[in-house]
Homo-oligomer: A and B are copies of this chain.
Amino acid sequence: MSLDLSTPVAQRVAASFARQGMMNHLDAKLLRVVAGEVEIALPYGDKVTQQQGGFHGGAMGALADIAGGYAALTVLPEGMEVTTVEYKINFLSSKQQGELRAVGKVVKGGKRIVVTTAEVFHLDALGQSTLCAVMQQTLVPVAQTY
A-to-B contact residues, CB < 8 Å = 16-17, 19-23, 25, 45-52, 56-59, 61-63, 65-66, 81, 83-92, 94, 107-108, 112-113, 115, 117, 131, 134, 136, 138, 140, 145-146
Nearest B-chain residue to A51, judged by Cβ: B19
Enumerate chain B residues within 8 angstroms of A112, measured Cβ to Cβ: 112, 140
Q: Which of B16, B21, B58, B89 contacts A86 (CB 8 A)?
A: B89
- Bound-state CA distance A117–B107 (Å) is 13
15 CB < 8 A contacts A-B: A20-B51, A21-B48, A22-B49, A22-B56, A25-B47, A52-B146, A56-B62, A57-B65, A58-B65, A61-B61, A85-B90, A85-B113, A86-B86, A112-B140, A113-B140
Assess whether A46 is in contact with B25, with CB atoms less than 8 Å apart: yes
Number of copies: 4
Distance to closest chain B CB from A122 (angstroms):
14
> How distant is A50 from chain B, measured CB to nearest CB, in Å?
6
